[in-house]
Structure 1
Amino acid sequence: MSFLAVKGENLIRDTTKLNSFRVIPIAFYTPDTRWGFGAGGYFSFFPQRNWNTTRPSSVIFGLSYTQNKQLLLYAPFNIVLTKQKLWLTGELGYYKYIFNYLGIGNQIPNEYIEKYSADFPRIKLNTMYSICKFQYLGLRYAFDDFTYTKLDSTGELIQGKIVGSKNGNINSFGVVYSIDHRDWINYPTKGFLAEVSYTIDNSKLGSDFDFQKWSSEASYYTSWKQKIILAANLQFVYSDGDIPFHQMPSIGGTKRLRGYFDGKYRDNGLSILQVELRFPLWKRIKWVAFAGVGKVFHTFDELNFEKLRYNSGLGLRFEMDPRSKIHLRLDYGFAKQSKGFYLTVGEAF
C-alpha cells in the first residue's frame, strides 16, 4: 500500500511550480511610427493537477506604443480544460496602427502600396468540446470593429468603392471541427492537426457585411530520432459574398509564405502548401529551413498552377520553456522581389 501511495503522490503534482512566464522588451524605429517601445512574451500553465496527461495551455501577448501614438495590443490564447474535454483558442486585441493595402488579386503590381490608419478591437474565439478521442467540435466567433483615421488621398480606399473601405464591423458566427493528434501543441515532433470551419456574417447577426467563409487547414509532423523534424502545412480558404478586403484570405506575414509583406496578395480564395525542416543546433537553440507555394484566386476558374507565388527562408528557434516547448522564432524569408525578418513567439504551423 505504501508503494501505491507514493506512486499516486508522484503522479499528482502541484502544477503551479510548472507554470512559466516570460517577458521580452522590444524597441524599433520605422518612418511610419518613429520610435516604438513595448514587450512581448507568454504565460504557460497546466490547468489540471496531473500535468503528465494534459497538454500545456498558453497565452502569448504583445504590446507596443509609438511616438506617433500608435498602439498594438494582442493576446492569442490556447487553453485546454476539464481533462482535455474543453479546448479554447482565439485572440483578444486592440489595434491603433498604420497598415498597408497592396491591392486585391493575384497579379497586382509589385510596386503598388497604399498606407492607411485604423483603430479596431478584436475578439476571436473557438470553443470546442471533445466528441471522441482526438476529435473536437464547437463554435467559432469573430468580431472586428474598424474605424479609419487616415486614408491615402491618392489611393483606392478613399474612393469608397472597395468593400470594407468605410467604417464597419464584422460579427461572425460559425462551426469548427478539429482532429488533433499532435504529441505537443507548441512544438510537435509527430502527428497531425486538421481543422475545417464555416462562418457567416450578415445584418441579422449584427454585422455590417454579408459574406460567408469556408476554411480548412491540415498540418503533418514526423521526425528522425526526435531531432530532425519535418513539418508540412496545407491551407484552403474560400469566401463568398461582399467580403471586406481586410477579411479576405491573404498571403504574407508571419504565417503564410514568409517573405511577402503581410497581405501582399488577397482575394476571395487562397490555397497554399508550406514545408519546414527543423534541426537541433546547440542546447535549446535550433535552426530551420522553410519553403512554400500558393496563390489567391477570385473564382474557382483561377484555381490552377498559373501565377504561383513561392517563398523560402531560414530561421532560428530558442526554446524559452522546455516544459511547454514554447519557442522564440526568428525567420528571414525570401520571395519574388520581397524579403523580410520576422520575430515572434510560437511556430507558423
Structure 2
Amino acid sequence: MIKITPHLSALKIIYLSLILAFSTLGFAQTKPKMTKEQRKAMLRDTLDGRLDASVMIDNTKGFLPIPFFVTEAALGGFGMGLAPVYISPQEKPIGDKDYIAPAVTAAFGAYTANKSWFTGIYRKEVIAKYGLKYRVFLGYVDYNLAYYKEVENGDDQKFDFNYKTIPIMFSLSKKTFSDLYVGLEYFNANMTINPNFDYELPPNITTEDFKKKVASLGGYLDWDRRNTIFTPDKGFRANLAYYVNDDWTGSDYKFEKLETFVHYFFPINNKWISGLRFEALQAYGNVPFHQMPYIKLRGITAYRYQGQATLLTETEQRFDLDTRWSVLAYGGLGKVFQKGENFSDAKTVYNYGTGFRYLVARTYGLRAGLDVAKGPDSWGYYIVFGHKWNR
C-alpha cells in the first residue's frame, strides 16, 4: 500500500474544500434540484469512490467558478484570480470512434504581486460533424515585465516596462486526414508601453516602440493524436506554424515567425508515462523587443532569455503511485541564438524539477498538482491543471 505524505493529503483537503465551496453555484443551475447527498455523490467516482469531478462536469448546466493562482516569476511569483469555466462533452458523429476534445468556455481575471492584472474570455471547440476546430480569445492586459539586454561589460541589465494591451485572437482549422488540421490564425494587439526606470533606454529600443500595433496572420498544420487534451498518457501532437506581421495584416511592424513543436507521450509500463518535448522558434525581419522568441521552461523566468531564435528540448517522467496520485520528474535544455550566432556560440540554459499530480477528473484524463523547478539563476513553482506543455 502506498502511503500518502502529509502535504499530498493537505492538497486533497484544500481541493475538496474549494470544490464543495463553489459547487453550490454550479449545481444551482442543475435541473432537477438535487439533495445534499446527491451533490456529494457527484464528487465521487463510481469506480473507486474517491474524489473526482467527472460526473459534476457532465451534469452541471452552468459555469463552475474556479479560483486559481498565478505563479509565474516574471509577474511577481504570486497572484490570485477567478475563472468561471464550462466544459461541455462533444457528441461523436455516427461511426466515429476517435477521441473528441470537449468544448471549453472560460472567463478569467487575476491580479499579481508585481501589480499586473488581466482579464479575458476564451472559447475552444471541436465541431466534429464538419471536421472543424476554432479558438477565440479577447482580453485586457496590464502587466509589468522585465526585458534583459547585454551591456558592455557582458552582463545582462534588467529593464522594467509596463505593457497595456487589448489582445484579440481567432483561429479556425479544418480536418484533412488522420487528425491533421490545416488552419489560419489572426492576432491583433494595440500596445502601449511605458518604461518603469529613469536611466537610458537600450540602443535597440526607441520611444517609437511605445505605442504601436502588432497584428499577425498565420497558417499552420496541427496533428494531434493524444488520448486527451488535458494530461495525456499516450500519443503525440506536432505543429508547424508561420506568422506574418505587415501593413496588410494591420501591423505597424514587418516581421515573420516560424515555429514548430512536437510533444510525444508513451507508457513505459502501466505506471510509468514518459513525455518528450521539442520546440523551435525563429524570428525574421524588424522584430520589436517585446516579440522576440524566449525560452519557455519551468524554473526559468519568462522573457529572461531572448534572442533571434530559440531551441529547446525537455523530458517529463510521470510515475503513478496508484489510480489517483502521481509523482513526476523533468529536465530540459534550451539554446538562445542572437543574430549571426552559430550553435556553439549560442547561450545554453537548463532546468530540472519535480512535482506531483492528482487525477481530478478520471473520464477526462485531467490531473492537477504542483511543480517546483530550478533554472540557471532562479527557482520557480507552478500550480498545474492538465499538462504544463499544453498550449
Structure-2-length-normalised TM-score: 0.73
Aligned to 1:38: 81
Equivalent pair of 1:330/1:341 in contact (CA under 8 Å): yes
Aligned to 2:54: none
> In the alignment, which residue of structure 1 is the partner of 2:117?
71
Question: Cα gap change, 1:25/1:197 in structure 2, threshold over 3 Å: closer, same or farther?
Answer: closer
Q: After TM superposition, list the pairs within 5 Å mapping 1:297-316 onto structure 2.
A: 297-299=337-339, 301-304=341-344, 307-316=347-356
SS in 1 for 2:347: coil
Match of 1:236 among 266, 280, 300: 280
Are the equivalent residues in 2 in contact too, given 1:73–1:94 (CA < 8 A)? Answer: yes
How far has the Cα of 1:125 moved from its partner?
3.0
2:82 is aligned with 1:82: no
Q: Distance in 2 between matches of 1:344 and 1:62?
A: 16
1:99 to 145, 168, 173: 145
Please, which of 246, 249, 255 is the counterpart of residue 290 of structure 2? 246
Task: For residue 123 of structure 1, report the CA deviation from its aligned partner.
Answer: 2.2
SS of the aligned residue for 1:80 comes to strand
Asked whether the 8 Å contact 1:176–1:197 carries over to 2, the reply is yes
Q: CA distance change for structure 1 residues 27 and 277 in 2, over 3 Å: closer, same or farther?
A: closer
1:144-172 Cα distance to aligned partner (Å, 9 max, x none): 22112443212536x77359842111110
Cα pair 2:271 2:321 within 8 Å, conserved: no
**1:298/1:70 Cα in 2 relative to 1: closer, same or farther (>3 Å)?**
closer
For 2:316 and 2:223, how far apart are their aligned partners in 1?
21
**Secondary structure of 1:314's aligned partner:** strand
Structure 1 residues 201 and 318: CA distance shift in structure 2, 3 A: same
**1:342 alignment partner, one of 374, 382, 389:** 382
In structure 1, stretches of 5+ residues that fail to align are 1-14
Tell me what 2:258 maps to: 214
CA distance in 2, matches of 1:342, 1:223: 24
Asked if structure 1 preserves the Cα contact closer than 8 Å seen for 2:338 and 2:346, the reply is no
For the 8 Å contact 1:60–1:345, the answer to whether it is kept is no
Match runs of 1:121-160 below 5 Å: 121-154=166-199, 156=201
The answer to whether the 8 A contact 2:194-2:210 is kept is: no
Matched, 1:287 2:327: yes
Question: Counterpart amino acid of 1:332?
Answer: V
1:302-347 per-residue CA deviation (whole Å, 9 max, x = no partner) reads 2347531111011222333222223334221101121111224331
Instruction: Give, in whole Å, the separation in 2 of the partners of 1:220 and 1:258.
Output: 18
1:17 counterpart = 2:59? yes
Hey, what does 1:191 align to over in structure 2?
Answer: 235
Structure 1 residues 334, 148: closer, same or farther in 2, change over 3 A? Answer: same
Instruction: Flag the structure with higher helix content.
Output: 2
Distance of aligned partners of 1:143 and 1:344 in 2 relative to their CA distance in 1, 3 Å threshold:
farther
Question: How many pairs align?
Answer: 326
Rate the CA distance shift 1:117–1:188 in 2: closer, same or farther, 3 A: same
More strand per residue: 1
Equivalent pair of 1:41/1:345 in contact (CA under 8 Å): no
| 2-structure distance, mates of 1:337, 1:207 | 35
Deviation at 1:120, TM superposition (A): 0.7
Indicate whether 1:318 and 2:361 are aligned. Answer: no
Classify 1:278/1:244 alpha carbon distance in 2 versus 1 (closer, same or farther; 3 Å): same
Are the counterparts in 1 of residues 336 and 347 from structure 2 also a CA contact under 8 Å?
A: no
Q: Cα distance 1:267–1:153, how it changes in 2: closer, same or farther (>3 A)?
A: same
SS of the equivalent of 1:271 reads strand
Shift in Å, 1:77: 4.8
Name the counterpart of 1:9: none
Assess, with a 3 A threshold, how the Cα gap between structure 1 residues 200 and 278 changes in structure 2: closer, same or farther: same
Equivalent of 1:58, from 98, 104, 112?
104
Q: How much does 1:181 deviate?
A: 1.5
CA contact (8 A) 2:307 2:339 kept: no
1:241-280 to structure 2, matched below 5 A, reads 241-251=285-295, 256-280=296-320
The SS at the match of 1:266 is coil
1:198-236 C-alpha deviation (Å, 9 max, x unpaired): 110112221011001111111111013443111111111
Classify the secondary structure of the residue corresponding to 1:302.
coil
What is aligned with 1:161?
Answer: 205
Q: Please tell me the residue identity of whatever aligns with 1:278.
A: R
Question: Share of identical aligned residues, percent?
Answer: 23
Tell me which amino acid in the other structure corresponds to 2:172. Answer: T
- Give TM-score scaled by structure 1 length: 0.81
Cα deviation digits, residues 65-104 of structure 1 (max 9, x gap)? 3699742124555421134711224643321121121237
Corresponding residue SS for 1:246: helix
The CA RMSD over aligned residues, in Å, is 3.3
The C-alpha deviation readout for 1:215-265, integer Å capped at 9, x for no partner, is: 1111111013443111111111111011112211111xxxx2211111111
Which runs of 5 or more structure 2 residues have no equivalent in the other structure?
1-56
Q: What SS is found at the alignment partner of 2:371?
A: strand
Give the Cα–Cα distance (whole angstroms) in 2 for the partners of residues 33 and 178 of structure 1.
33
